[in-house]
Amino acid sequence: MSFKENDFVEIEYTAYDAESNDILSTTSEEKAKNENIYDEHNHYGPTLVVLGSHAIVPGLEKEITNMDVGESKTFTLDPKDAFGERDENLVGVMPISQFKENNIDPKPGMQINLDNSIATIKSVGSGRVVVDRNHPDAGKKIKYEIKVVKQLKDNKEKIEGLAETYEVKPSKLEIEDEKVKLYYNPEFKKSADYFVGKANALAAVFTYLPEIKDINVIEEYENINTKKAETNNQEKSN
């Protein structure tokens, strides 16, 4: 069995710097904690890959395409198949005033968003900042340990997978032909991150599942003040 473009697959992986053997990223919470790279804001566990979406490095996508569900593999990618070769033309100088205007106090090692790409601050001098627009792992050989956990085949699974990728998995999902209903109950925290994630998830559904023509999002909210009052009244009665 092999996969094809637009297939939805869930994988587990750990990526290493092939030279130092340091872990660069992992879907394993246990490995992250053991290597002291655990981040409570990261989502651990199987991650969704839509083949052909170019969301992962080309060499990794090529290897996954030729794997089976349940198969594990270890391989090393050259920079050109991973995060690219380093390009010194992507290292430049910016005035520190540009950072101050945006309320940013630049520090070496800090990563910032420049023109929708991640850049790393290399040094901060008198009135100027050296910025590297290369990917942090550019120029490195990357070793991957991966396992294909599952292939998502029906649209309900695929939509739930996309929503979970953006951390907005709905409380309930209904799908009928070309129409989808997503429900978010009052317990679902609807922060600013939720609204951004929801917009990205909906865009992804329409991009990767063009047969879906309509998505209805039903959000339920609860009056916090009323709930507090009811709780207080209940406590007084007790």
Domains of the chain, CATH where assigned: 1-83+140-153 (3.10.50.40), 88-132 (2.40.10.330), 154-238 (3.30.70.2210)
pLDDT tens for the chain, 238 residues long, are: 689 999 999 999 999 999 999 999 999 999 999 999 999 888 899 999 999 999 999 999 999 999 999 999 999 999 999 999 999 999 999 999 988 888 889 999 999 888 778 899 999 998 899 999 999 999 999 999 999 999 999 999 999 999 999 999 999 999 998 999 999 999 888 889 999 999 999 999 999 999 999 999 999 988 877 655 555 666 666 5
pLDDT reported for residue 43: 86
pLDDT reported for residue 100: 87
Phi, psi at 154, each rounded to 5°: -95, 160
d(CA 92, CA 140): 21
Q: Which two tokens stand for residue 179?
A: 């129409």
pLDDT reported for residue 238: 57
Question: 22-27, long-range: CB within 8 Å, 24+ apart, which pairs?
Answer: 24/137, 24/142
pLDDT reported for residue 64: 96
Continuous H helices in 6-145:
29-34, 58-65, 96-101
pLDDT reported for residue 60: 97
Cα angle for residues 8, 207, 187 (degrees, 5° grid):
80
